Every structure is written in structure tokens, then in C-alpha cells.
Structure 1
Amino acid sequence: MRAQRRTHGRSVRVEYLLLDEAASAGRARGLTSKFLARSRVRTGAAPAEIDDVRLVVSELVANATQHGRSACRLRLHVSEERVTVEVYDDSPLPPRVRPFTADGERGRGLAMVRCLAQRLDVAAVTGGGKRVRAVLALSS
């Protein structure tokens, strides 16, 4: 895992390279918590909003490690008004929401992300793969 941090005025960015393994989702949650706590930008985010960001990160990284074939990248960008979560993986297939079933234990992550995020989009990246981006508004 590698990290890279940049500061731009009233926003801060960081990027992590995460291994292609199931434990990466939990690791990403922890890294997100630490990054948001140490961020120079004072978001005034409520604990519930931080939990929402952690959940989005966890779901998107879990999808990337499950469906990708190699390491994934997690980028976080925090400003006073929002947190942007971007996850890059090498799979060209877009994520999809599965139908809910009463006994289903999988396939609900992307639906949760859609509910929590102000915006969710997927884009192909040069060289193959995709970027999944979720933007979460903060109540400052």
C-alpha cells in the first residue's frame, strides 16, 4: 500500500494503492478515518457523515477487489462542502445494482452507495479499467 497526499487551498487529496484482497476494504475504511481526522480542512462533518463516507469507501473498494484482477487505487478529496471518493480498478465492466431478495446477502452495496451519495458515476479510464466516483455532501 502506498499513499500520496496533496493540498490545494481549502481542500486535501490523498491516494492509496490497495492490494487485490478482501482485507483491503477494511484497510480502506481505516485509512479513510485517519485521513479525515488528520485533514487540514475543517469540514465540520458530523460523525454520521464520516460513517457514510467510510461505508461508501468500503463498498467501492470491496467491489473493486472482488471484480478486478489486480490492485485498486482509492482517491479521497475532501473540502469544506464535500468528500469525493474515487476507486479505480482494471475491470472494464461497470458495476450494477442487483435486484433485492429477502434472503440475499450480497449485491446491496452499490444501492447503498447510490442512497448515500449526492452523485455517483462510472467512467472508463485510458489503458483499460474504470473509475467509480461518489460525491458525498457535508452539512457544514
Structure 2
Amino acid sequence: MPVPTGHSPAATGGGEQQQEALLVDSVFTDIGQARKAVEEHLASECAWVDLSGVLLVVSELVTNAQRHARGTWQLRVQAEPHRVRIEVTDPVPLPPRWRQGKLDGSGGWGLRIVEQCADTLEVLASAHGKTMRAQWLHPDRAGASLN
């Protein structure tokens, strides 16, 4: 079954070619389908990125939103020539709670895994919810800014 997703054009700034963003919403899909959509999108748009690391981050951030933020989330993937940005937005404005990971299956590892896989991890909060943003910078652009 195809995953209902959306695509929206997004300017990359600096005169670079415009890229389409992949949008996936929890109303229409589940975590596994979201991963598959991201995999297909990045395979064609951004072959330089560590796809297994990106998919692990997608799994962790979407699982956290599913578990801790009333189950609704939106995933946005922006692939650019120099950067990949993954954003998971949910309706809970409270920042995530960093916990000590436990080996008893109760969790606490997800955000630490995301921090290790992505070049940066940010929490963007507003009165309407929060966005967890993970980014990867192209290896040839190691000294460039991620903004």
C-alpha cells in the first residue's frame, strides 16, 4: 500500500536549486511506512548520506512522538546537495526528558542514539508543540554551517 505523503517545494537559499521536502503525517501512516518513505526519498535525492543512520533517527524520533506526545506527529525530510534535515513535529510543547538508559526495556536510549547518529540535534518549541530537528552535513562541507 502506498504511503500517503506530501511534497512541498522549499528554497535552499544561496541561489541553489530548489528541492522538494517529503512530508509524512501520522494520521495517514505508521512508523514503518514512514521509514520506507524516507528511504525511498533519500535514495533518489541524497545518496551521500548514511541512510541507515538517518532511518534509525527517524525511528527514534517518531517513536518518541508516538509514545510521549499523544501519538500524533508530522515528519518532514529536506534533502539538499549539502545537507539532510529530518524534523518530527508533535503537539506537546514540553521539551523531551533526557533519561538514563536502562537495560530493562523501559527506554531512555532514543535521544542519545539520535545524538550519536546525527551531526546536530535541536529542540524547537512553541506554544503549539515542538519540533525535533536532526541534521547531517555533506562530508565535503564539514566546516560549513548547518543553519
- 1:86-105 map, 5 Å: 86-105=87-106
Provide, for residues 23-60 of structure 1, a one-character-per-residue CA deviation record: whole Å limited to 9, x for no partner.
Answer: 72212111100111232xxx3415xx011111111111
- 1:1-140 map, 5 Å: 1-6=4-9, 8=11, 9=17, 11-19=19-27, 24-39=30-45, 43-45=46-48, 49-126=50-127, 128-139=128-139
Q: Separation in 2 of the partners of 1:30 and 1:81? A: 22
Q: Note closer, same or farther for the CA distance 1:68–1:51 as it changes in structure 2 (3 Å cut).
A: same
TM-score (norm 2): 0.77
Gaps of at least 5 residues in structure 2 are 12-16, 141-147
Give the match's secondary structure for 2:24.
Answer: strand
Q: Separation in 1 of the partners of 2:66 and 2:103? A: 26
Q: Separation in 1 of the partners of 2:108 and 2:119? A: 20
Sequence identity of aligned pairs in percent?
A: 33
Amino acid across the alignment from 1:87 = V
Q: Is the Cα contact below 8 Å between 1:3 and 1:14 reproduced in 2?
A: yes
| Deviation of the 1:101 alpha carbon | 3.0
TM-score (norm 1): 0.80
Q: Is the Cα contact below 8 Å between 1:24 and 1:65 reproduced in 2?
A: no
Count of paired positions: 132
Q: Note closer, same or farther for the CA distance 1:25–1:138 as it changes in structure 2 (3 Å cut).
A: farther
Q: Is the Cα contact below 8 Å between 1:86 and 1:132 reproduced in 2?
A: yes
Q: Separation in 1 of the partners of 2:117 and 2:22? A: 21
